[in-house]
Structure 1
Amino acid sequence: MNGARVLLIDDEEELRLSTAQALELSGFSVTMLSSAEHALELIGYSFDGVVVSDIRMPGMDGMTLLQKVRELDAEIPVILVTGHGDVQLAVNAMRNGAYDFMEKPFTAQYLSGVIHRAMDKRSLVLENRRLRAVAGKRDDLETRLPGRTQVMVDLRYRIRAIGAADADTLIIGATGAGKEVVARALHDVSNRANRPFVAINCAALPQNLIESELFGHEAGAFPGAIRARYGKFEHARGGTILLDEIGSMPIDIQARFLRVLQERVITRLGSNDIVELDVRFIATSKVDLEAEVAAGRFRPDLLYRLNVATVHVPSLAQRRSDIPLLFLHLVREAAARYGREDREVPQSVIADIATREWPGNVRELRNAADRFVLGLSSENAEQVVADDDNRQPHRLADKVASYERDLIARSIALNAGNLKAVYEALGISRKTLYEKMQKYGLDKRHLGSMTQLDEEAL
């Protein structure tokens, strides 16, 4: 346990320093942060430590941090601390997946004991993942980017190859397809996995402060610059910088960024000193950057420098047979995230999911899974996430039809789309099977990949 990693987040400097010193005396390696926002840059699927965070902090509070951490990896232990005796807060924290909860003041010995137990749990999780990968079972990438279609197999192979190469990478994909998930995966399979991952939304940077945000500034560089400040580029040294939707970066900033990309140096606003930058750049775009170049909105030399390696993230329309399995995976994720019991997904819901269009891709499908787990209905989700009670037919004929539809859909799934095996197993003619499939809107292309749905799916 010597040197075990602890991420300590507390906005009270004195308490933060004293807690860190006590933990270091107990053999832990402690990284101190005064705000939760920067913590997410140090946490990923391969994070080999424990998060200890105050709950009540300016900006992102501890409960929000817990939710964000669980979105990255639900099995990272998060210990929440508060100086307020709020029983309901403690209950909510545990319900939302916190490893433990403690009130200030606490003894260093007690905190160390909790961290030791949390670290044992995290070590076991990482070791199990490693052993499963060695045994030829699903590895981390398959868990984060599930799918059996060839485009997903190829995507995972490309991530493994490019990730280890440490090359600057351009990720292309439609809205909601999972570009940031791919970017984080590239970071986590690289030698920079234990260094910061800094995501910059190019479309959300304030126009009047964009240079300061990226490059940093010295005190007095402009009105209001009271003290020197690291920019996001400098903050990520040794790690990875994600430039999300780089096509939105203003053309004048593109020129400055090109120099950073070429020379790996920056100069803060108000300074003449050059700061060397050891980082890897990953950029994402939902638009055709070559078309943006032709329109004069994107620099061609920047495009050529960025796409040393290019990764294309497929839309759900390009991997329709993955949709049912992916939905089941997202339902399980949502159940864990919201602290709910695993909920069985009716075959009729899966069939509806498989035949719908998903223009919002994985993001939209995840929202549908969340609504299903929470028992919510939505006008836009139609029957997919309606309450089970609302889905139950009341007339005998409706119940029989519903049972028959589910039985046929299940048989198609279990026989991997082999219709001959289906009509023989059901004891009906081929013509009857085709007629019933047409009647119930069943498509073997969408159901054919849904083998082993209950235990083996994802």
Structure 2
Amino acid sequence: MQSRVLIIDDDETLQRAWTHFLKKFQIAQAFNFEEGLRMFTETDPDIVLLDIVLPDGNGLDLLHAFKSARPQVPVVVITGQMDMQLATSAVKGGAYDFLTKPVNAERLRVTIDRAAETARLNREVKTLQTEKLLESLQQSPLVATSQAMQDVLGVIRSVASRQTSVLLLGPSGVGKTRLARLIHQLSSRRPRPFVEVNLTTINEGILESQLFGHVRGAFTGAVRENQGLFSAAEGGTIFLDEIGEIPPAVQVKLLQVLQDRVFYPVGATRPHEVDVRVVAATIRDLQALVRAGRFREDLFYRLSVFPVTVPPLTQRKADIPQLVQLVVRKICLKENQPVKEFSPEFLQMVVDQAWPGNVRELENAVEYAITVAQERMILEVPDLQAYLRNFTNPGPGTEVGERTVAMPSLENAFSLDEHLDTVARELISYAIARENGNVTRAATRLGLSRRRMSLYMERLGLSAPNARGRPRMQSSGVKNGQG
């Protein structure tokens, strides 16, 4: 990528000469103080070549403005032979280097080449810092301003150093995955792998093979050996999300791992030893599943040696201001835009909502608000109201922020069938969005089988979720029941 050089000098002859010398760069030109200030903002240069003496202002003031706005940009100043004191002041003020008139072409080329390399390194460092910040914002730190979350983190710290299994309980979107990762990071297993497995995203027919591996020829299509996810987590931690969805046949093998630290890959005749810590999570009531005969009681007790219940956002309102701040920063950095602020009224509206989808839904709502705000630097109440209108209908007996479907007007005749389809479409869309695009979990939340969910989606014209986790409307005449 060509570096961008902004040349600021009132001498048009020198401007032409320097543009010729530096033709391998992208050149922008300015001929006075005001134009230089404007072009610096508009062209976002990698390097500035600045004449210290300008007809309408002091070049040192311009240098100060540049270094205040973007201190990493190399600014090469140009002075007359009698202006060495100005040159010294410029270097003290942050100038990258200085050249004296008449400027030697080769010296100019070498200086700008060095400045371009510095600019390139600065860009790489900034990119790495942004990536590191994004990673830290996505995974940690966990917000624990509220007493409820401080209590949870206290429990997590106490269990992290032990080798016991941990069962994370709580509704969808409260941050169970982050807590599982935190347990791993605080443990002696930190240098070893952390393997995350969402059990609802793996087809039941291949789940056993995915978790425990298989030998070559174990089944049709097994042309090579597969080590499996438990082996991939050797020495580290495996996080089994949505453990309540695991089928009975796989429950038996998981119990064997927890009891004996061994398992048999599919098709194998010899056991495979493994040293892995198991952290599991669920939104389901496992004890109810045990009573219903859908979850092994012995497996439940093995998994729940150390249960940790993560509270919903309604019980940790004190966390919301810092959560909003972190989410806004994360999204703006991800979109490569200036970090926005938010008004006190915007924040109060966020705090007042119930957020049944918890932190995940709050993140979706804030991202929506940032999109609505576009170029504005401060998020306001109307930016959030557009999101809330889709699912909020305060009315008699309805709590503030509770998601409902709007009641139709009965002043005129309407089609009940069409309205029921609209209700079903909204509820399915909302459930899928709340489960971050996971159709199987959304079906469970709605009390439907996965197949019945697919039939509903096909009839209502809903197709696979998009990148934001919301179902897409199918094109006319096209049927697609995939989720």
Q: Which residue of 1 aligns with 2:249?
A: 252
Displacement of 1:267 in angstroms is 1.4
How many pairs align? 263
After superposition, the Cα gap between the structure-2 partners of 1:343 and 1:121, relative to the gap in structure 1 and judged at 3 Å, is closer
Q: Which residue of 1 aligns with 2:259?
A: 262
Q: Which residue of 1 aligns with 2:151?
A: 154
Pick one of 358, 369, 372 that aligns with 1:372: 369
Gaps of at least 5 residues in structure 2 are 1-116, 375-379, 387-483
| Distance in structure 2 (CA, Å) of the matches to 1:289 and 1:120 | 44
Specify the SS of the correspondent of 2:317: helix
| Distance in structure 1 (CA, Å) of the matches to 2:125 and 2:262 | 40
Displacement of 1:241 in angstroms is 0.6
Q: Which residue of 2 aligns with 1:163?
A: 160
Q: Which residue of 1 aligns with 2:186?
A: 189
Question: 1:317-355 CA deviation, whole Å, 9 max, x = no partner?
Answer: 111232233212211222222222111101111111111
Question: 1:93-140 CA deviation, whole Å, 9 max, x = no partner?
Answer: xxxxxxxxxxxxxxxxx9xx98xx869977xx89xxxxxxxxxxxx99
Residue 242 of structure 2 aligns to which amino acid in structure 1?
A: E
Asked if the contact 1:331/1:370 (under 8 Å) is kept, the reply is yes
Pick one of 268, 272, 277 that aligns with 1:271: 268
| Distance in structure 2 (CA, Å) of the matches to 1:119 and 1:187 | 28
Pick one of 323, 343, 350 that aligns with 2:320: 323
Pick one of 320, 341, 359 that aligns with 1:362: 359
Question: 1:422-453 CA deviation, whole Å, 9 max, x = no partner?
Answer: xxxxxxxxxxxxxxxxxxxxxxxxxxxxxxxx
Residue 292 of structure 1 aligns to which amino acid in structure 2?
A: L
After superposition, the Cα gap between the structure-2 partners of 1:172 and 1:334, relative to the gap in structure 1 and judged at 3 Å, is same
Displacement of 1:376 in angstroms is 5.8
Asked if the contact 1:238/1:279 (under 8 Å) is kept, the reply is yes
Displacement of 1:363 in angstroms is 0.1
- Which deviates more from structure 2 when the two are superposed, residues 197-206 or residues 234-243? 197-206
Question: 1:146-174 CA deviation, whole Å, 9 max, x = no partner?
Answer: 13111111111111111111321000010
Gaps of at least 5 residues in structure 1 are 1-109, 127-138, 388-458
| Pair 1:175-2:167 in alignment | no
Displacement of 1:365 in angstroms is 0.4
| Distance in structure 2 (CA, Å) of the matches to 1:303 and 1:263 | 16
| Distance in structure 2 (CA, Å) of the matches to 1:312 and 1:141 | 21
Asked if the contact 1:265/1:274 (under 8 Å) is kept, the reply is yes
Question: 1:298-317 CA deviation, whole Å, 9 max, x = no partner?
Answer: 11100111111111111001
Q: State TM-score, norm by structure 1.
A: 0.52
| Distance in structure 2 (CA, Å) of the matches to 1:217 and 1:273 | 12
Residue 342 of structure 1 aligns to which amino acid in structure 2?
A: V
| Distance in structure 1 (CA, Å) of the matches to 2:168 and 2:383 | 31
| Distance in structure 2 (CA, Å) of the matches to 1:205 and 1:188 | 26
Displacement of 1:385 in angstroms is 2.5
Specify the SS of the correspondent of 1:175: coil
Q: Which residue of 2 aligns with 1:87?
A: none
| Distance in structure 1 (CA, Å) of the matches to 2:314 and 2:174 | 10
Matches within 5 A, 1:270-349: 270-349=267-346
Question: 1:385-413 CA deviation, whole Å, 9 max, x = no partner?
Answer: 268xxxxxxxxxxxxxxxxxxxxxxxxxx
After superposition, the Cα gap between the structure-2 partners of 1:246 and 1:311, relative to the gap in structure 1 and judged at 3 Å, is same
Asked if the contact 2:174/2:310 (under 8 Å) is kept, the reply is yes
After superposition, the Cα gap between the structure-2 partners of 1:220 and 1:141, relative to the gap in structure 1 and judged at 3 Å, is closer
Q: Which residue of 1 aligns with 2:235?
A: 238
| Distance in structure 1 (CA, Å) of the matches to 2:137 and 2:350 | 25
| Distance in structure 1 (CA, Å) of the matches to 2:326 and 2:128 | 23
Matches within 5 A, 1:53-72: none
| Distance in structure 1 (CA, Å) of the matches to 2:202 and 2:255 | 18
| Distance in structure 2 (CA, Å) of the matches to 1:120 and 1:368 | 27
Question: Relative contact order: is structure 1 or structure 2 higher (C-alpha 8 Å, sep ≥ 6)?
Answer: 1
Question: 1:262-281 CA deviation, whole Å, 9 max, x = no partner?
Answer: 11112111211221101000
- State the percentage of identical aligned residues: 38
Asked if the contact 1:147/1:153 (under 8 Å) is kept, the reply is yes
Q: Which residue of 2 aligns with 1:385?
A: 384
Q: CA RMSD in A?
A: 3.5
Q: Which residue of 2 aligns with 1:222?
A: 219
Question: 1:46-82 CA deviation, whole Å, 9 max, x = no partner?
Answer: xxxxxxxxxxxxxxxxxxxxxxxxxxxxxxxxxxxxx
Q: Which residue of 1 aligns with 2:69?
A: none
